[in-house]
Chains A and B, each alone.
Chain A
Amino acid sequence: MDTPIPTPAGKPARPDLKALVLLAIPVLLLAGVIAVFLLTAGAGLNVRPVAPVEDLAFERLVLREGEIEVHVRNTGPDTLTLSSAILNETVWPFHIEPGETLPRLGRATLTFAYPWIEAEPLAIKLFTANSIPFETVIPAAAETIPSGGDAWLRFTLIGLYVGVLPVLLGIGWYPALRRMGARAFVFLMALTVGLLLFLGIDAVNESLEVAARLGRPFQGVGLVATGVLGAYLLLDAITRHQAGLGRGESDQRLRLATMIAVGIGLHNLGEGLAIGAAYRVGEAALGTFLVIGFVLQNITEGLGIIAPVVRDRPSVRRLVVLGTIGGAPAIAGAWIGGSIDSAPLAALFLAVGAGAVFEVMVEVIRLVRRQTAKEAMPLNVFAGVMAGMLLLYATGFLVK
Chain B
Amino acid sequence: MKPSRRAGRRDFLRMSGYGALAVAMGAAALPRDGTRKAPAFAPGLHAHGDGPPMPGFNREVDHIANGFNPSDTLTDFDYGVVSTLPGGRTLREYRLFSGDKDIEVAPGAAFPAWVYNGRLPGPTLRAREGDLLRVHFTNGSAHPHTVHFHGVHPANMDGVFEVVQPGESFTYEFDADPFGLHLYHCHVMPLAKHIAKGLYGAFIIDPAQGRPPAHEMVMVMHGLDVDFDGVNDFYAVNGIPFHYDRNPIPIKAGELVRVYLVNILEFDLLNSFHLHANFFHYYPTGTSLTPSEFTDTVIQGQAQRGILEFRYTYPGRYMFHAHITEFTELGWTGLFDVAA
Contact = CB atoms under 8 A, between A and B. Distances in A.
Interface residues of B, number: 31
B180 interface: no
A83 B41 CA distance: 15
A389 B56 CA distance: 55
A128 B227 CA distance: 10
A128 B108 CA distance: 8
A130 interface: yes
B52 A115 contact: yes
B102 to A, nearest CB: 10
Interface stretch (B73-81, B169-177, B195-203, B324-332): B324-332
B42 interface: yes
Contacts, number: 83
Contact of A132 (B2, B106, B227): B227
B142 to A, nearest CB: 15
Contacts of A283: none
Interface string A71-85: 000000000011110
Nearest to A81: B108
A90 B58 CA distance: 13
Nearest to A95: B43
Nearest to A92: B55
Contact of A95 (B42, B227, B241): B42
B43 A83 contact: no
Interface string A125-153: 00111111100000000000000000000
A124 B58 CA distance: 16
A105 B183 CA distance: 48
A128 B43 contact: no
B43 A91 contact: no
Given A66-B52, A90-B330, A113-B52, A131 B43 contact: no
A92 B52 CA distance: 10
Contacts of A95: 39, 41-43
A131 B111 contact: yes
B242 A91 contact: yes
A291 interface: no
B17 interface: yes
A131 B53 contact: no
Interface string B292-315: 000000000000000000000000
A131 B228 CA distance: 9
Interface in B106-142: 106-111
A94 B39 CA distance: 8
B38 to A, nearest CB: 11
A93 B17 contact: yes
B57 A91 contact: yes
Contact of B330 (A91, A93, A130): A91
Contacts of B2: 115
A81 B107 CA distance: 10
A111 B43 contact: yes
A129 B42 contact: no
B55 A90 contact: yes
Interface of B: 2, 17, 39-43, 46, 48, 52-53, 55-58, 106-111, 226-227, 233-234, 241-242, 326, 329-331
Given A83-B108, A131-B111, 9 more contacts: A66-B52, A81-B108, A93-B56, A95-B42, A95-B43, A96-B58, A113-B52, A127-B109, A129-B110
